[in-house]
Structure 1
């Protein structure tokens, strides 16, 4: 009981007692139910170790007392955090504006729900993804675009954290989920060239938080090799002036579109490594009073939902982002549960989808 004074209506001090309740504990449940603290712990964490009757009585007592298990204590008992982490490839303001990343998260989240885990989104900490990994309270990690020689790999290995990469570098030490980015870009660039386009601007992806000195296996470089290979087949060489770099947001796509339209010689086709950037370019053209594809063709990559909603609909590479997230999460949970992976490296199919945004010349 806690006493304190307040004034009555006559201005005189009066004492009033207020009962301070405390949060019920396992000890309280044990006392009320007649079972040991160990049995109470088993009822919440491992019911198979006590009888069904004992478990039911303990849980009923806990409910009567208003007991809610402390998740931190429970996780400590289980030696698990019951959460997996998704390392955002860029700062939050960029990562969550990219519908492709959101679809990957959707796929991961569905699997987390199936296993009763939460999903923790982990952006770079103080601009360092390594610092974020060191302090992440998770049982495993999924990354995007990670390569095996990166510093964060050694941090995860030191922490004994299982990990899977999406759009990363296949390696014996690192399970991965990918498409053949180089071949996909070769095929869509060949489609652009077959449509008669030669004045082309490419919009590349910016390097993400996992960028390392050895960038030749990064997604932007794989895709660029595919574009260059297709152009070389018709005797074209990609010039530096033909390549622009954008963050994967619609806002930055509009900025890039305006930059392209400000050129003295407007390209006949823009080929973007991201649908959301390509859509931004289309909007910039519409704002300038230009028609797509009559005044300029635009091609993207990802086949996000918005690519079939924009007018005209976007020609693109269909890569199943939700399926990438699902496969990566399923593989990670098998690793967490000490199960054998069916396949360390999963390369899933893509499709080239031609729509109205690409016009033959």
Structure 2
């Protein structure tokens, strides 16, 4: 006995015939690219529902366009830890907003090679890429993307001539918050930095180490503070995390005779860690120690305090990158955009004790 054949999947042509319109009109209803009358739209959607038609086959559409409909976003290190950074989440929200009109999906890739020594960026079926420039492997990822001839947008990294960038005023923002600390009267200031390079070594950021630094965000924010405090000591961390801030804070505060009266951290997570280290030692914030961060994200663990920080436009940064990718995939000219951070004074900074 012959097994019954599977029912034929309804096509767009079937829907058009059922609704009494042309196939091109039915296509317009589903694409939304051209307006049709409400009556026509209602008739086409009703026909689609009666036939069980759920919409055009995205795979077929991709094949017709010669595209995968996917944009790669290259994140630093292990993907399981990428979203522990509270800046990443709003940035990714903005990125997907920026790609919404394009109808593209997002593929998250790590910036390090796999077990076979080959980066997944070499073979991933993607139409374009967004690179986060604070990664130590940023240059290698950029070379892969350019070698494949893919459109690419870089967030906070120097990609060279012709590559659109989404940047922040890291230098000026860091100088502004350092100026706030100076105006409060602090002279003994220390800096807790983000990782400076691929080695991710903790410790004093000496001129020799700084000369080899590859993370542009770290260098820009450090230069901004040192515009105000040229001789401020800088301590590098392994990552932007509260735990790393605690470790750096303990190192800076363990010697009462050489203790700074203010610490400028390059992320809010690091700043919270410094505050916790200060509290371990019985220091009051801001009476005994002023602490400022950078990012303007919501971070728990500092009680009733509001962190003094620079608020970066994380959502706008991601959205701008997505919009520029969409422009390139539509055949339009993309552009670089420079965004501005906003100072927010909280309760964690005050005049030094005398």
- Identify the TM-score tier after normalising by the shorter chain: 0.7 to 0.9
- Corresponding residue SS for 2:229: helix
Task: Select which of 328, 339, 343 maps to 2:332.
Answer: 339
CA contact (8 A) 2:308 2:346 kept: yes
Gaps of 5+ in 2: 34-39, 201-210
| Larger CA deviation: 101-110 vs 189-198 | 189-198
Q: Does 1:248 align with 2:240?
A: yes
Shift of residue 292 of structure 1? 1.3
- Corresponding residue SS for 1:150: helix
**Residues 111 and 281 from structure 1, CA distance in 2 versus in 1: closer, same or farther, beyond 3 angstroms?**
same
Equivalent residue for 1:271?
264
- Corresponding residue SS for 2:346: coil
Task: Select which of 226, 229, 246 maps to 1:228.
Answer: 226
Equivalent residue for 2:176?
187
Q: Does 1:198 align with 2:187?
A: yes
TM-score (norm 1): 0.74
Q: Give the Cα separation in 2 of the matches to 1:275 and 1:317.
A: 9
**Residues 115 and 283 from structure 1, CA distance in 2 versus in 1: closer, same or farther, beyond 3 angstroms?**
farther
Shift of residue 59 of structure 1? 10
Equivalent residue for 1:358?
349
| Larger CA deviation: 328-337 vs 149-158 | 149-158
Q: Give the Cα separation in 2 of the matches to 1:76 and 1:209.
A: 39
Deviation readout 1:29-70 (Å, 9 max, x if unpaired): 98xx99xxxx89x9699899xxxx9xx999968974778876
Q: Give the Cα separation in 2 of the matches to 1:284 and 1:95.
A: 25
CA contact (8 A) 2:197 2:213 kept: no
Q: Give the Cα separation in 2 of the matches to 1:46 and 1:188.
A: 48
Alignment of 1:1-361 (within 5 A): 64=51, 71-126=58-113, 131-145=119-133, 150-169=139-158, 171-207=160-196, 215=213, 218-232=216-230, 237-239=231-233, 242-263=234-255, 265-306=258-299, 311-341=304-334, 344-361=335-352
Deviation readout 1:281-321 (Å, 9 max, x if unpaired): 22343455432112211111111234898632111112211
**Residues 47 and 112 from structure 1, CA distance in 2 versus in 1: closer, same or farther, beyond 3 angstroms?**
closer
Deviation readout 1:320-346 (Å, 9 max, x if unpaired): 1111111111111101100123xx221
Deviation readout 1:237-291 (Å, 9 max, x if unpaired): 234xx41314112333334334444445432222111112212322343455432
CA contact (8 A) 1:279 1:310 kept: no
Equivalent residue for 1:8?
none
Gaps of 5+ in 1: 3-18
Q: Give the Cα separation in 1 of the matches to 2:159 and 2:175.
A: 20
TM-score (norm 2): 0.75
Say which structure, 1 or 2, has more relative contact order (CA 8 Å, 6+ apart).
2
| Larger CA deviation: 144-153 vs 253-262 | 144-153
Shift of residue 114 of structure 1? 3.7
Q: Give the Cα separation in 2 of the matches to 1:163 and 1:210.
A: 26
Task: Indicate the structure (1 or 2) with the bigger Cα radius of gyration.
Answer: 1
Q: CA RMSD in A?
A: 4.4
Q: Give the Cα separation in 2 of the matches to 1:226 and 1:47.
A: 47
